[in-house]
Amino acid sequence: MMSNTIKTICAEQWRYWLRTKVATTVLILGSVLTLAALVVNAFHIEEAAHARENLQHEAEERFLSQPDKHPHRMVHYGHYVFRTPTPLSVIEPGVDTYTGNAIFLEGHRQNSAMFAEQRQSAGLTRFSSLTPSFLALVLAPLFIILIGYGSVSREREAGTLTLLLTQGASRWQLVLGKLVALMLASSIFLLPLLLACLYVAFSNESALVVTLFCLGYALYFLLWAVVVTACSTLFEKSSASFTVLIVIWMSACILLPRMGSSVATSVEPSIGKLEADFKVEEKLRNLGDGHDVNDPAFVKLKQELLDKYNVNSVDDLPVNFRGIVAQYSEQRQAVVINEFAESRMQEELAQARIARQFGWLSPTVALRSFSTLLAGTSIETHHRFLREAEILRMQFVQGLNKVHVEKLDYKLDMNRNSSEEAADKAVVEASNWAVLSEFSFQPEAPMARLSSAAMYCLQLLLWVGVAALLLKLAVRRLNP
């Protein structure tokens, strides 16, 4: 139980903050910013979720309401699939901010996700995006430093430390009183996050995940409160304490996370999108043009079919040869496309894993990894979305190709460009467009997310241990 002396020192520290305009301003500014970011983000995500729902519905309706058409035109007409963000993305949008959560499905190509916040905006928006996690990870520690850097050193500078110690307060009581006060101040920044988590807990999210998510942030704030109090205890001058803390903040919150990304891209370099696209195009060209049944790439396929159906000409086949070529070509193209996509995803994953190792050097990186994995907004979740969307794309395109094979006469198909009338005949009924499967992307199961985040929880705990040792050293060296 907390001693009365600790409570008294804690209460006095609060009275000082409340009477000092600077500290009060920092406290109010920090909590208002966090709350505002949460509310704006929650509204934005709620609105975006509704918009996505409408767009998904609209896209399906528009697709199904297409008139009788050539099935391959429907392949190119395409279709959208949307991913509903996880409930915790209100607080931790993670990679969603950059990757987006809608994909345009069409034949012969694999589109990346779109409608990301950062892709819709001008470049400068990147610096003005105040997400709740950014506030908690980067700005809250700065606020904690601004409030607490002088909590103990001020007593020494003013000479009140001697008087306090000679009243019978032990060094630990004094420092713990200051630490508890700073922890309470830090909880002002945590409170909006807790409220948001409470809201999320009622939004179909695992209570265990939400609780651990909150505990992660609470641990992070505790860590900063301990580091700030330790530095304030260790250094004789408040100015020295402030300078050292700002250097620590810049290293932990700004430099090391970026250094992690830079090191990751250097150790695991990946080719640029344009270069990758050229390589894919080059490989696809070698596979032949799926729109041209006379392409030499399909000679073997043609012969196999003629042999199978024991006929001499594709005109005599019971199926549409153009459709067969489209199916065959799409299948082969998908192998190439997926090979490149997998390779890119493996590179991104390797980079993410290297960047996450910087959690041993920076608690900010540790919490970032922990919270994105728990929230289901990590690169792993995004990759799963891309893979599931690709399966859907193949079902959709091959479904239309099947209609092409089975429902459209080959001769009509081949004559489609001879006249307008012929083109009108080379169509299938609109009832065939019902090839869309329902797409509902779900984040990983809670236990899977917990298991992948465990390592980064360990990093955070290690940091708290280091901070506690620093505090112990500081208290031992505390002299008036």
Partner 1 sequence: MTSKSVISASELSVRIDQRTILDNLNFEVGKGEVFALLGGNGAGKSTTLKTFLGLMKPSTGTASVMGMSVAENTNEVQKSVAYLPESVTLYGHLSGYENIRYFLSVAGVEKTDDAIHEALNKVALQENAWHNTLSNYSKGMRQKTAIALAILRNAPVLFLDEPTSGLDPAAIDEFNSLVSELANNGATIFMVTHDVYGACQVAHRIVLLSNGKLTGSFERVGDTPIDTEAVHAAFAGRK
Residues 6+ apart with CB under 8 A from 347: 268, 269, 270
The 3-class secondary structure across 195-228, one letter per residue, is HHHHHHHCCCCCHHHHHHHHHHHHHHHHHHHHHH
Nearer to partner 1, 7 or 108 (CB): 7
Tell me: does residue 1 bind partner 1 (CB under 8 A).
no
User: What tokens were used for 284?
Assistant: 């696809």
Residues 6+ apart with CB under 8 A from 283: 336, 340
Cα separation, 35 vs 30, in Å, equals 9
Residues 121-160: x/- map of binding to partner 1 (CB under 8 A)?
A: -------------------------------------xxx
Nearer to partner 1, 131 or 151 (CB): 151
Tell me: does residue 25 bind partner 1 (CB under 8 A).
no
* Residue appearing with tokens 């006469």: 409
Closest approach, Cβ 14 to partner 1, in A, equals 12
Tell me: does residue 12 bind partner 1 (CB under 8 A).
yes
Interacting stretch for partner 1, rule CB under 8 A, among 1-9, 144-152, 330-338, 356-364?
A: 1-9
Closest approach, Cβ 4 to partner 1, in A, equals 7
Closest approach, Cβ 162 to partner 1, in A, equals 6
Nearer to partner 1, 4 or 286 (CB): 4
Nearer to partner 1, 7 or 353 (CB): 7
Closest approach, Cβ 118 to partner 1, in A, equals 45
Closest approach, Cβ 182 to partner 1, in A, equals 18
Tell me: does residue 14 bind partner 1 (CB under 8 A).
no
Nearer to partner 1, 167 or 440 (CB): 167
Nearer to partner 1, 159 or 465 (CB): 159
Q: How many CB atoms lie within 10 A of CB 57?
A: 11
Interacting stretch for partner 1, rule CB under 8 A, among 6-14, 137-145, 309-317, 406-414?
A: 6-14
H or E segment and range at residue 291: none
**Interface size with partner 1, residues (CB under 8 A):** 23
Q: Which residues pair with 105 in a beta bridge?
A: 79, 110
Which positions from 451 through 480 interact with partner 1, judged by CB under 8 A?
479-480
Cα separation, 226 vs 185, in Å, equals 12
Residues 6+ apart with CB under 8 A from 307: none
Closest approach, Cβ 226 to partner 1, in A, equals 22
Candidate residues 20, 120, 121, 203; the one interacting with partner 1 per rule CB under 8 A: 20
Residues 6+ apart with CB under 8 A from 120: none
Pairing of strands 79-82, 109-110: unpaired
H or E segment and range at residue 68: none
Which positions from 157 through 176 interact with partner 1, judged by CB under 8 A?
158-160, 162-170
Residues 6+ apart with CB under 8 A from 242: 145, 149, 150
CA atoms within 13 A on the CB side of 140: 33
How buried is 275 (Cβ within 10 angstroms: 0-12 exposed, 13-18 middle, 19+ buried)?
A: exposed
Q: How many CB atoms lie within 10 A of CB 425?
A: 15
Candidate residues 2, 8, 339, 360; the one interacting with partner 1 per rule CB under 8 A: 8
Closest approach, Cβ 189 to partner 1, in A, equals 24
Which positions from 77 through 106 interact with partner 1, judged by CB under 8 A?
none
Which residues of the chain form contacts with partner 1 (CB under 8 A)?
A: 4-5, 8-9, 12, 15-16, 19-20, 158-160, 162-170, 479-480
